[in-house]
């Protein structure tokens, strides 16, 4: 990966592997922004960004993502100077296909404007043809994942196991539906890391070594 031009690093991770924290720390180390489900979902909900709205924004101005980012991180009031959906026109993002398409457009917009680290959102597939993309999968054993989920969410072992199974199935079904491949297929990744026995910072060190 050439760090002198815009790059995209995508991280797919198993629940309880610490992958989200690794992504955030990696972004900090590289001096770029970190984007995950919470950020993208919040952006879509706040500015009603369906595929149709995004196309309208792109048609209004070439640097549409730069403006949206400035709105998001600097001043919400600036939104009124850029684009306001008509009252009563706020779409309901209920269709998973529409959500996936909108997320894809947002993520592509991000990648055109800046280097970044993206967690989840089928990034490995969305950026598979990006000329400067590194795709990472972070996994962990079940005992490791159980301990982390129990500790982070205050759950019993039985409850944590149930959550892990449900999230694994949900994520796998989502990825298969929208990409036609499995999130566990290692051919989709440049590097696969097992988190067991490693701190989050040590995993970041491994990734940084790979990026050199």
52-78 pLDDT per residue, tens: 655 555 555 555 556 555 544 443 433
Q: Which domain holds residue 100?
A: 33-114
Return the beta strands (E) in the chain as ranges: 8-13, 33-35, 116-119, 133-139, 191-194
Closest by Cα among 73, 75, 79 to 33? 73
Same domain, yes or no: 104 and 144: no
11: Cβ–Cβ under 8 A, 6 or more apart, which residues? Answer: 19, 20, 22, 23, 26, 117, 118, 119, 120, 123, 136, 137, 138
pLDDT at res. 130 = 92
Average of per-residue pLDDT values in the chain: 80
Using N-to-C axis directions, what is the helix angle for 19-30 and 200-211, rounded to 10°? 50
Final residue in a domain of this structure, among 65, 84, 114: 114
Final residue in a domain of this structure, among 68, 98, 114: 114
Backbone phi and psi for residue 167, each to the nearest 5 degrees, phi listed first: -70, -40
Same domain, yes or no: 204 and 160: yes
Same domain, yes or no: 169 and 120: yes
Same domain, yes or no: 59 and 127: no
Same domain, yes or no: 150 and 196: yes
Same domain, yes or no: 106 and 138: no
Same domain, yes or no: 121 and 210: yes
Is residue 16 predicted with pLDDT exceeding 90?
yes
CATH number at residue 144: 3.40.50.300
How many angstroms separate the Cα of 31 from the Cα of each of 34, 144, 190?
A: 10, 29, 21
Same domain, yes or no: 148 and 160: yes
Alpha-carbon distance of 163 to 168, in angstroms, equals 8
β 116-119/33-35 pair status: parallel
Same domain, yes or no: 152 and 210: yes
Final residue in a domain of this structure, among 114, 147, 177: 114
Same domain, yes or no: 120 and 208: yes
The domain total for the chain is 2
Same domain, yes or no: 155 and 167: yes
Q: Across-strand partners of 134?
A: 9
Same domain, yes or no: 126 and 65: no
Tens-place pLDDT, residues 129-178: 999 999 999 999 999 999 999 999 999 999 999 999 999 998 898 889 88
């Amino acid at each position: 990966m050439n760090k002198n031009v815009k790059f995209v690093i995508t991280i797919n991770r198993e629940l309880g592997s610490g992958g989200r924290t690794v992504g955030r720390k990696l972004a900090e180390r590289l001096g770029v922004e970190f984007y995950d489900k919470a950020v993208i979902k919040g952006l879509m909900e706040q500015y009603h960004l369906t595929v149709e709205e995004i196309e309208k924004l792109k048609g209004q101005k070439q640097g549409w993502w730069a403006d949206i980012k400035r709105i998001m991180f600097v001043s919400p009031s600036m939104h009124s100077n850029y684009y306001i959906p008509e009252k009563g026109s706020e779409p309901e993002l209920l269709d998973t296909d529409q959500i996936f398409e909108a997320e894809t457009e947002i993520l592509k917009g991000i990648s055109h404007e800046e280097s970044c680290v993206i967690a989840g959102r089928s990034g490995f597939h969305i950026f598979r043809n990006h000329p400067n993309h590194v795709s990472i999968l972070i996994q962990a054993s079940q005992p490791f994942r159980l301990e982390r989920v129990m500790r982070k969410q205050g759950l019993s072992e039985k409850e944590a196991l149930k959550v892990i199974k449900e999230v694994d199935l949900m994520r796998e079904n989502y990825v298969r539906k929208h990409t036609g491949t499995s999130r566990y297929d290692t051919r989709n990744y440049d590097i696969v890391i097992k988190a067991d026995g490693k701190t989050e910072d040590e995993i970041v060190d491994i990734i940084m070594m790979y990026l050199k």
